[in-house]
Amino acid sequence: MTMWGLGLHLVSAPRQPSIAIESMRSTPETPVQLYIEARWYSQSSLAPLPATSFLYLRNPSFLFPPTAYISTIVSNEIDQTSKAHQHVQHHSVGLGRRRQRDRFQAPQAIFTRRCKHHSTSPSKSPSTLTHHLLLHQGPNPWKVAIVLNELNLPYETEVKQFPELKTPAFEELNPNGRVPALEDPNTGFTLWESGAIIEYLLETYDAKNSLSYAGGKEKWQSKCWMHFQMSGQGPYFGQRAWFILVRQNVLVISWRRP
């Protein structure tokens, strides 16, 4: 256990919502344009496309058995006068059509009210946050550590070994059984996924927006880069690292030893 950090930025006032966004009507006058890629859809080696809106695509990733498919549901409701409504509704991975269908669950929209903790100051003597990370495993937990450092928040680091993650106890913290996970006794929240944790820390403890933009296009451009990091850079680097370690025969054996 190590303690880092000395003080805490107190949230002094409720954050002002972005005027540009808040004042916008729920249905924009001008259709938005969404670009999707159709390259994979037209490969001749694929099974004939069904007439329905289900497109079964041969999995481009080699990480699944060859029978695995990615099913992409594309909305049929395309406005002929505008392509604005063309959008991918949902995509998921399954193991063949039948199992895919059996396993398919409609995405659930979960709406929550704005949490009161986001608009009020945390207590003046905040409890220490607990930040779970896994030794040797990916760099993702350290992204959270950097943001905790930047915000000068007091936190404790709890290092886990891999077998500890896939246990009911840890899955209470993160149902995915991975790190990072963060416990914040100031709000009673337990969070997982580095991007979500970082967004939470910024909204809760960075009222001055020292690491982000309060609104405007910069706020959203920052999110673009954040998501590029998480869905692009991270996986590329992670997979390269993985195969390097496979080749070096260090694999998971040494990582997973309790």
Partner 1 sequence: MSYLGGAHNNGASPVSQYHPEKDLTSCLDRYGNEIRRALSVIDSHLKKTGQQYLVGDKCTYADLMFMPWHWLLLAKPHIMGEGFEQEWREKYPEAWAWNERVQAREAVAKARDARTEAVMAAHK
Indicate the SS3 state at residue 229.
helix
Looking at the Cβ atoms of 142 and 189, the one nearer to partner 1 is 142
Looking at the Cβ atoms of 122 and 195, the one nearer to partner 1 is 195
Which residue, 97, 147, 99, 153, is CA-closest to 127? 153
- Reading the block at residue 80, the tokens are 């002929």
Which residue, 255, 245, 241, 242, is CA-closest to 160? 255
Using CA atoms, how far apart are residues 203 and 119, in angstroms rounded to an integer?
A: 9
Q: What's the min distance (Å) between Cβ of 172 and partner 1?
A: 18
Please give the sequence-ordered ranges of beta strands (E in DSSP) within 5-143, or none if there are none: 54-58, 69-74, 88-94, 129-134
Q: How far lies 222's CA from each of 17, 63, 112, 152, 258, in Å?
A: 17, 30, 24, 21, 39
Instruction: Give 57's strand partners.
Output: 70
Alpha helices in the chain (DSSP H): 19-22, 97-103, 140-150, 162-165, 168-173, 194-205, 216-228, 234-247, 253-256
Contact residues toward partner 1 (CB under 8 A) are 2, 4, 61-65, 70, 91-93, 134-140, 142-143, 145-147, 149-150, 157, 159, 162, 165, 178, 194-195, 198, 202, 211-213, 218, 221-223, 225-226, 228-248, 251-252
Kind of pairing, strands 155-160 and 129-134?
Answer: parallel
For residues 48 and 38, is the Cβ–Cβ distance under 8 A? no
Q: What's the min distance (Å) between Cβ of 228 and partner 1?
A: 8
